[in-house]
Structure 1
Amino acid sequence: MTPMNNEEYLLKLQFSDELKELEAAKKASGLNFEQLAEKIGVNKVWLASAFKGQQWVPEEYCIKIAKTLGISSEKTVFLNNHPYKGNTDPILYRLHEVLDTYGPAIKDIIHEQGGNAIMSAIDFGLDVDVIEDAEGNHRVIIKFDGKLLPYAKKGKYPW
């Protein structure tokens, strides 16, 4: 059997039991998503997405969902975790967009400054910070620090 990759693990296993229990509580209540959403003051599509584990739910709404369904708030608190959304996750999507947009330029600069080489993803460091700039805006700073690896020249050129 092929082992699950990280995305499959997170999507299939993270909170799957809790989501099933939540769906069962909704079914037992006799409420549809529109009715439940109206009672707690949210959009029905957003709520249905939350019941699929695809939305971050503020704690106050976790409590409202539990109260409306007549279950313990311990049964809904897991919804307050930020979900993993695969490549549709806004942060992951933007990181892909950055590499798609700037990747060729980064590659050219690595070759200009480092020669015929690549950046290691094994001998590698990564840091992320959120800072406030002079105008009061919050900025994300991502630093990749990979060892420069020249291409091997084994065998007869061109190899």
Structure 2
Amino acid sequence: MASTYKTSVVERLQAVKEKSGKTYSQIAQETGLTNVYVAQLLRRQAQLKPETAPQLRAALPDLCCLSDELIIEMSKPPFRCYDPNLVQEPAIYRMSAIDVYCSVDKIKGADGNDRVVVTIDGKYLGHTEQKSENMLSRSGMQ
């Protein structure tokens, strides 16, 4: 049931975007967000923060029907779902995205053809050797 409801909300959000006639990049520019994050918001894969709601409403005006109900739904933590084939991939459990920004842009290449640029800007987390002597919770335990 929750899956059907989420699908309905996502379909309604996508209809709002379509009615606006704007791309994710245009909405992103108007809201100060990245285009990937806007796509996540409109697909209920990210949580809309209260301070961002006014900018999103301004970018998707009343004519597009971004209702109070949809804003409330977008403000709830997202229900993420995954392809069962992807979840079985062993590397999925080793991946982390802490403090990561991502954007997808279209540019013209030197030959005049359209090209895609994917930018991932993330916090660098170096690997540490897990030595028991450095584990503070065990200090004093023998």
| Structure with the larger strand share | 1
Class of the TM-score when normalised by the shorter of the 2 chains: 0.3 to 0.5
TM-score by length of 2: 0.48
Structure with bigger RCO (C-alpha 8 Å, 6+ apart): 2
| Structure with the larger helix share | 1
TM-score by length of 1: 0.43
